[in-house]
Structure formats: structure tokens, C-alpha cells
Structure 1
């Protein structure tokens, strides 16, 4: 690359729109006693905001990072479908790339990010399979089309073209006709969920002049996310 190209690239980066974050921040006196209570509060606020404004379109969109067999990180965005004292969780095909990664190396990280609210939550820990009873209960609550798609998609595998996906969709549509009931589409045995049992949870809140707040809970005991005694809280510099 010649110097003119480098200069052009630098100028382009310098002209990127800059926003001075005007969030409320997060001070120690306002932090909940446990990481679960703090996460639950922020998630509930994000979900409520999504019902009232247009700039929080997917409040439970969760970026999940795994490591493949060569040690290369991989990240993708899913929807968080579980959140309780045991940790955040999501559903997926158990033969998908992320599931294969987690079966070989269960260490994982995930993040919820709400740019318009100037907030984010980072989770780090070890993934474990969600219990089959929870998976089945969630699956039965999905809309009919979403239940069909679990059967139609051989997730993360190559497809020749769009027509192949539409053909497979038509096949499962005929196999499992819509009866209007919760059980007209059975749960595939290759479909399930993962939950991240956390060792660390960080709460990020944007502030002006890039002096953001970062409050981190790090595991110091064996309890779950709701057990305040099992966590040490500290502030990180931005």
C-alpha cells in the first residue's frame, strides 16, 4: 500500500461520526447486590425501552464468542432465551458450529449491547447444556414457523442456493401441518440450548469524554449469580 492510500484511510477514520455518550453512568451506590439482580434490572429496562422507542430493536440480542478447534475465536449474534441465577442462555442446533465449538471447549463469552441506552453487559464463563425439560418448554412456546425452521435448517452447513432452503421448508411444512396446537411440531433431538455459567460479569455504562463506568463482578465462591457472597465487585478504568 502506498503512502497516499495510507493517508486516505487515516483521513477516512478521522472523519467518522463521533458521539459523546450521555448515559446516566453507574456508580457503586446504585449497583445491585448480586450480578443477577443487576443484569435482570438492565435487561428488564431494555425490554421496556424496546416497547416505547425504535432504537432498541432487539433488546435480548446476545453476541456469543467461542473458540474453534484451531484456537481461532468466532462470534455470532443469537437471542438470549434464558436468564436466571444460573446464567444467560440461548437455543440452537446442537450440530451448529457454535455447539461443536462448545462441545470441544466450553469456555465462552457473551455480550448484550444497547448502544442507544449507553449500556452493555459482558459475561465470561463455561457453557453447559440446558436441561431437556427447559428446552422442550421453550420450544413449545415458539411460533409455528419458528418451530418448523428448527427442522428445516441444517445449521452452519453449506446450502447450494436459496431454493434448497425453500425446498426443505416445504418438506417440513408438509410433514408437520399446522394444527393450532403447541405440540404439532415435535422438538428435534438435534436441537437444544446452552447456558453460560459465569465466572465474571461486567456492566459497562457510557459517559461523556469517554470516562465510562465499568463495574465487574468476579467469582470468589461457588454460588450462582444471585448469591452476593460468591462475588467480588470492583471498578475497572475505561
Structure 2
């Protein structure tokens, strides 16, 4: 939608569709949070279907190797597929009941924290419109909102498995600030390109990966790290 709008209506249309999409996402997420009490919202929001819980496990044991092979009918979904034996899968995979636990009720502080996280993309877009894409203020504002949200949610106890994984994911995503302008333009770009160049020059075989990555990195950073949605 963004690329098509930019081609037809230019930059103004491009940013308009970005704001509309982020506004729609924020409204729906706030509706889930405040009206339906959905708690901490996950990414992805829906647990991938585990077909093994829907049908009996059908396996075949090889006569010579005694290797256990799963039949095609009971092959798990792509998201939950693995290369181990069926017995290993049953030991390593969490129980479906644990993955489908109801959301942890949020108090006022936690609701405010989740609301901050949901509305952060809109506030970031607004700050870009006010101060421009080269200003440090949108970068700092978004960082403060992210850290504040995680800090307010850190006091929440008795989280289920998916909620703990979501908070870990959000914490790891803070590293993306190193790849976002203007921090990337001033500090990260030169160091990242230098590291990739050293790997390409001195580590045999790595250049096949790092050299195309060096060529693509500027376009990749420009496409994926201006919106932060």
C-alpha cells in the first residue's frame, strides 16, 4: 500500500497511508486492551495451530534402523515443524494448555504501559512531522517510550509463557535503535561497514555474504527503520 501510494500520489500520499495504517492498528489494539481485556499483546497475535493436538500421532518404525518416522498425515504445521523424532518433540514442546493460557490481568500501571507501547508508532510519526527525520528528538522520544513501557511492565508477576517471551522480544528489539537514524547515520553505519569489510577481507568464504550485505544495507536501513511500527 505504501509503495503503490507513493508511486501514484508521491511522498505526501505515502506518509498519509502510513499514518492511516498505524492509526487503524493502534485503535484496534487499544480496543483489545481496554474493552476486551486482552492483556499484553503478542507478536504474532495468534498461536500457530499445532495439528498434533488435533489428531493422533501416526508413526512408522523402521525394521532395520528402528528409526521412528512420522507419517505425512500427522506432519506438524510449518511454524512448529522440527527435525527431531516424535518422542523428542513431545518432550521439548510446551503443552498446548500452557501456550493457550488466558491473558494475565493488567492493573492501571500495566495498562498505561501497554497503551504507551501501542501508541508509540503514532507518537513517533507525529514527532517526525514536527521535528523532521534528521532530528534526534523523535529517536529519543521513541526510546524513552519503549524503555518506560518495559519498566512499568517489569513489576508484573505470574506472567504466562507467551507473555514472558513477548517481553523478552521487546527487550531485544531495543537493539534496533542502533540501526535507526540519526544514530545509525552518525555512529553505527561506519562501524558496521568496517566490520563487514574486515570479515570479507580476512575470513575465507564470508565475503560471499558480507559483500552483498554491505551493498544492500543502506537500502535495507532506509526501508525498514524509518517507521518503527
Larger-Rg structure: 2
Structure (1 or 2) with the greater helix fraction: 2
| TM-score normalised over the length of structure 2 | 0.28
More strand per residue: 1 or 2?
1
With a CA cutoff of 8 Å and minimum separation of 6, indicate the structure with the bigger relative contact order. 1
